[in-house]
Amino acid sequence: MKIKISIFALLTFILFCCSKDDKPVEIQTGNIKLEIVFNDGTSPILDATVSIDAISKQKVTGVDGLVTFENIEVGNYEVSVSIPFSDIITKENIVVEADKTTNELILIDYPKPITPEKIDIDKWLNACYESLVSDDIFGAKGYATYWGDVGVDVFMGNINLNFPTRKMDTYDFGSTDKIIEDIWTNHYQVIRKTTIGIEAIETSEYVTELNTDENIAKAEFKFLRALTYFNLVKLFGNPVLVTSTEIPSDNNSVVQDPLKVYEFIEADLIFAESNLSQSNIKNKASVSAAQALLGKVYLQMAGFPLLQSDKYLKALEQFNKLDGLYALETNYGDIFNSDKTANSSEVIFSIDFTIPNDSNLKSWDWFYWGPLEVTERDFFLLAPNFIKGYFKNPNDLDIPVSFPLNIEDSRFFENIVSFTIQNNASVNAEDTANWRPYKFSENYQEGKSFQLPYLRYADILLMIAEVENAINGGPTIKAYDAINKVRRRAFGNTENDVTPGLNQQDFLDVLFEERLLELCFEGHRKDDLIRIQKLESVIENHNANSSQNMKNYQSHKHILPIPELEINLNPGVFQNPGY
């Protein structure tokens, strides 16, 4: 078993293990609401980036110049504000008090308008990449915890703690919830930023200090815009399609059609594939990244809700282009090791998370899980059925669990932590209720940055198996070969290959169990279950086996509600059915 305990982890234990009872530590929190305006005191600033570096939180202002940070631990914080097309950064000290909202007006000493005649596309492109790290997009506490792996059979929200994404896990969200508004708004901020870059290139209103090829830059902007729209159409089902920075003059021009959104995504990615370079820089768009993402988009279109079965072949065509360019890492854990990810043979596109150089930074400010007694914000527990997937004999999980664990799947030790920290040492947890998610958390406990592997070759192989099974009425030799490559890495042998001769449905069931064990905590599970129309039955099974973590799911909740704020601002926008 892999057991690494950082000095920070031990110090954290000393600080927090002194409670005389076993109740969870109550964290006092408050909110911050900021209004960013020009120095005239009346003109709000759009697209200003507001950051609290000490806790790695970042938001972007809307047309009203407002941002809100919720559930911030009590204390003093330095807030940084940067505005588009400018190197000016304004800093303010903000005090957060328990159960209160701190309202502050921040005046920016900069002349209007802030948009120059020409923008630096190099800086603007970097700003777009950095925007992906928002908590409400792909942040380390973002996609996997508000959409991808919550509300299914991987995570369970800790019922002893109240935190913003818990309602996403229990499906108790509504159109007026702040988290729904933030997810919507921050995705559209990225779309606006990328579109600004595209239009600047198309009108030749740009500069580049690095002599960047304009078609490559435009392709990168389009890749990022497609990635963001792909999120939106899966999350909200019927997002508003915005194709330019011009504000529509009437409500009749609103386009809210998922098929048109997918067509727009497809067009952006086809352009990206044709114009990007074949870069080995994992956290930048490349030809392979565009091909992999387009294949993933086609596969999602082939499933529910569009059910366009002709897209299976298109998906396979894209995946086949990656043949010979990537390979599985020999060691599963190396994919998530911050020292090895950048040179990974498996990762196709990643999203870079850089921990600020701040001596006051705490690991729990960045992450929501890790070993019990180390991570103060113990927000997510493991669903019992998820744990069982790694064990051949269910009796091995009878409490008290016997150690060493009788387990062959090496992925378990990277994905699940089965020990706690007690008296400055690791102790095997004989009760599975004390096991926790583990993937990525080592990097944070050791103060390291890491890259989220959004597109990697194991995912491609499993999607190839899915497509082969779909278009041929059952698994082919190629389908078996693809899934078995992933399993052989996990088990280190061929003895655990998938049983040959399965029918189409049985193979699909085995395949999606494999996707769960391989890709857990990377934000894919809910999309997978929606695509094959299994979300509701999986949740019903979860509820039947977990009375304390029930999910209030209804069939219309496979997508989120359109924020009420958006509907009020734009009467041409319609609400999703059921909300």
- The per-residue pLDDT for range 486-510, each reduced to its tens digit, is 999 999 999 999 999 999 999 999 9
Tell whether 470 is covered by a domain.
yes
3 pLDDT higher than 50 = no
Highest mean pLDDT among 85-89, 425-429, 528-532: 528-532
367 pLDDT higher than 70 = no
Question: What CATH number should be reported for the domain holding residue 103?
Answer: 2.60.40.10
pLDDT of residue 578: 97
C-alpha distances in Å from residue 114, one per residue of 41, 65, 124: 15, 14, 14
Tell whether 479 is covered by a domain.
yes
Please state the length of the chain.
579
Residue 296 parent element (H or E): helix 287-302
pLDDT of residue 99: 92
**Which residues span the domain enclosing 51?**
30-115
Among residues 48, 82, 115, the one where a domain terminates is 115
517 pLDDT higher than 80 = yes
What pTM did the predictor assign? 0.84
Gyration radius from the chain CA atoms = 24
Over the stretch 47-64, which tens digit does the pLDDT of each residue have? 788 988 788 687 888 778
C-alpha distances in Å from residue 215, one per residue of 201, 212, 243, 340: 8, 9, 18, 31
Maximum C-alpha span of the chain: 73
Mean pLDDT across the chain? 87
Over the stretch 441-489, which tens digit does the pLDDT of each residue have? 776 566 566 788 999 999 999 999 999 999 999 999 999 999 999 999 9
Residue 259's identity, in one-letter code, is: L
202 pLDDT higher than 90 = yes
Out of 100-104, 143-147, 498-502, 562-566, least confident range = 143-147
Tell whether 458 is covered by a domain.
yes
Question: 421 - beta bridge partners?
Answer: 426
Residue 296's identity, in one-letter code, is: K
Tell whether 489 is covered by a domain.
yes
Out of 142-146, 324-328, 531-535, least confident range = 142-146
Tell whether 169 is covered by a domain.
no
Highest mean pLDDT among 18-27, 327-336, 540-549: 327-336
Q: What percent of the chain has pLDDT over 90?
A: 62
Over the stretch 163-200, which tens digit does the pLDDT of each residue have? 767 888 999 999 999 889 989 988 999 999 999 999 99
Question: What CATH number should be reported for the domain holding residue 484?
Answer: 1.25.40.900
Number of domains in the chain: 2
Tell whether 105 is covered by a domain.
yes
pLDDT of residue 344: 94
Over the stretch 217-271, which tens digit does the pLDDT of each residue have? 999 999 999 999 999 999 999 999 999 988 766 667 789 999 999 999 999 999 9
Among residues 115, 138, 160, the one where a domain terminates is 115
Tell whether 181 is covered by a domain.
no
C-alpha distances in Å from residue 470, one per residue of 56, 140, 279: 42, 33, 32
Among residues 494, 513, 533, the one where a domain terminates is 533
The number of beta carbons lying within 10 Å of the beta carbon of residue 424 is 12
Q: Which two tokens stand for residue 280?
A: 């080995």
10 pLDDT higher than 70 = no
Nearest to 546 by CA among 151, 163, 161: 151
Q: What percent of the chain has pLDDT over 70?
A: 86
- Crossing angle of helices 258-275 and 214-236, in 10° steps, is 150
Tell whether 311 is covered by a domain.
no
pLDDT of residue 150: 87
Q: Residue 272 contacts by C-beta under 8 Å, 6 or more apart in sequence? A: 219, 220, 222, 223, 226, 285, 290
Q: Peptide bond preceding 400: is omega within 30 degrees of 0, i.e. cis?
A: yes
Dist CA 298 CA 288 (whole Å): 15
pLDDT of residue 117: 63
